[in-house]
Structure 1
Amino acid sequence: MSLYLARDADGGLRLHPALPERNRDLGLWETGEEATELPRAAFPGLRWDGEPLPVALRPLAALPPEPEPEAGLLSSRAKGRCPAARALRLPARKALPSPSSPSSPSSAARPLPPVPASPFPSTPERT
């Protein structure tokens, strides 16, 4: 993909996705596609009466390789071996006791605590 830098008549600097054409009536370089505005102070040698400058983007560092998708991702989640859990070193989920099992004292129904009174004064209803 070719990119071009061009300076407009008012001094604005824009990065174009294709070779732009000069529109002298508007004082702009145009391609019919969206251009990205850059700081005016960049590329001081680039002027309106000059030609667009072809540029290329180059990464400063190599990107890490994409991880290979793990086979059977859904089945590994079902078995408690989720790759995210392994990466974060989270413990596997433990099975919860069945609600019909009376052997577990923690499964007994406990009453809910009372709801505290509101700290806000009540307002009279409008009629």
Structure 2
Amino acid sequence: GRHDIVEFDLEGQNLSLIKGPRRMNDFGICQCQIIQIDDSIVGVAILSYHDIQVWRREVNSEGVSIWFSQRTVALHNILNTLPRISETIPWNRLMGYDDDTNAIFLYMHNSAYMIQLKSMHSTKLDVRYSREYYPFRSF
């Protein structure tokens, strides 16, 4: 099926569907996360077997919204503990996103990682496998 993004306009009180970047539909199960790029630009991080892609949505000169590929980074360049990844590796999952720190959380090769999207710096987390994670930051 096709993956869309639901947009709610607070000012106009309108609900609409946005087509995501074409890459969101390359996989049966979308390993993607809506993210914030800068202050008012919506983006999508997409996890595949080999890389993370970051897409941004902008309005062109005709007023049409277009998705642009902002960055693609190979996972073995981000997560230096990973072997070269083959097509058959299962269980790579996006687990969550923290918009305050612009970090996504991944579960790969029996380990959890936090990845800063601007720097693509990764931190291995000391957690055990679970079906779901809910990122929470204490103040």
TM-score range normalised by the length of the shorter chain: under 0.3
Q: Structure 1-normalised TM-score? A: 0.22
User: Structure 1 or 2: larger strand share?
Assistant: 2
> Which structure shows the bigger proportion of residues in helix conformation?
1
Greater relative contact order: 1 or 2 (C-alpha under 8 angstroms, separation 6 or more)?
A: 1
Give TM-score scaled by structure 2 length.
0.21
